[in-house]
Amino acid sequence: MDTATLINQIQNLLKRTPEIRKERQAIGSPKVKAWKTEVEQVLRMGGKNTSKLLQNCQNLKFGASAMGSEMVASSEVKFQAYQAEVDVAEKLLKNAAQTIQIFGVSEEQKLPDWFKQEVKASGLIRIGGKEVDIRTVTMNEFLTAMLTLVDGEKSLDETLKQEMGTHIRSLQTHPLLQPFLNQTLDKAFAKLG
């Protein structure tokens, strides 16, 4: 993933922070779980330049405790502690954006040989007059393109168009699927090899 795309994803997560800060269920809320997962995924994508920030983020509990996350909703002190952790995560994201702006995205670590080697997929697709690397197109963008294709397809009747549109939109809006859909097409095509 290139630097600009990663910074854009960080900025999108930062825009959602006020909404996450208000969630009284804390980590018990699917929105908070999805947001935390996305934050960790973005920090992981920064490579070694953001690895310490990732480690700090993974140490945050976001209201999780042995008593359960419902304790956060009923206790003002615990809710304030949860909000403080959201503030810490927000600072980590801002630090990540600055670090990536200055140093860029570091290369991924080379894994030991005993890990199963994944087939690499690469290539360019032409969109209009522009060549685009499949490593920069996300699965979410692909699904958006599918929606456009379905809407314009004359061979499908309106019922099928609506059904496909409903299914694709439900995938795109499911908060727990966001980290998965932010992966790039090369990951999907690598599984075909």
Backbone φ/ψ region at 8: left (φ over 0), alpha (ψ -120 to 50), beta: alpha
Q: Assess whether 147 and 65 both reside in one domain.
A: no
Q: Say whether 133 sits in a helix, a strand or coil.
A: strand
In a domain, 115, yes or no: no
In the chain, how many domains are there? 2
Q: Could you write out the DSSP letters of every residue in 17-64?
A: HHHHHT-TTGGGSHHHHHHHHHHHHHHHHTGGGGHHHHHHHHT--TT-
Q: Assess whether 169 and 97 both reside in one domain.
A: no
Instruction: Classify residue 23 by burial, with Cβ atoms within 10 Å: 0-12, 13-18, 19+.
Output: buried
pLDDT band at 102 (very low <50, low <70, confident <90, very high): confident
**Mean pLDDT within 180-184:** 86
Q: How far lies 167's CA from each of 161, 171, 184, in Å? A: 10, 6, 20
Q: Assess whether 82 and 155 both reside in one domain.
A: no
Q: Assess whether 9 and 94 both reside in one domain.
A: yes
In a domain, 66, yes or no: yes
In a domain, 117, yes or no: no
Q: Assess whether 85 and 150 both reside in one domain.
A: no
In a domain, 114, yes or no: no
pLDDT of residue 109: 45
Q: Percentage of residues in the chain with pLDDT exceeding 90?
A: 28
pLDDT digits (tens, 9 = 90+) for 139-157: 888 899 888 988 888 888 8
Q: Assess whether 60 and 140 both reside in one domain.
A: no
Q: Assess whether 145 and 87 both reside in one domain.
A: no
The boundaries of the domain holding residue 47 are 3-103
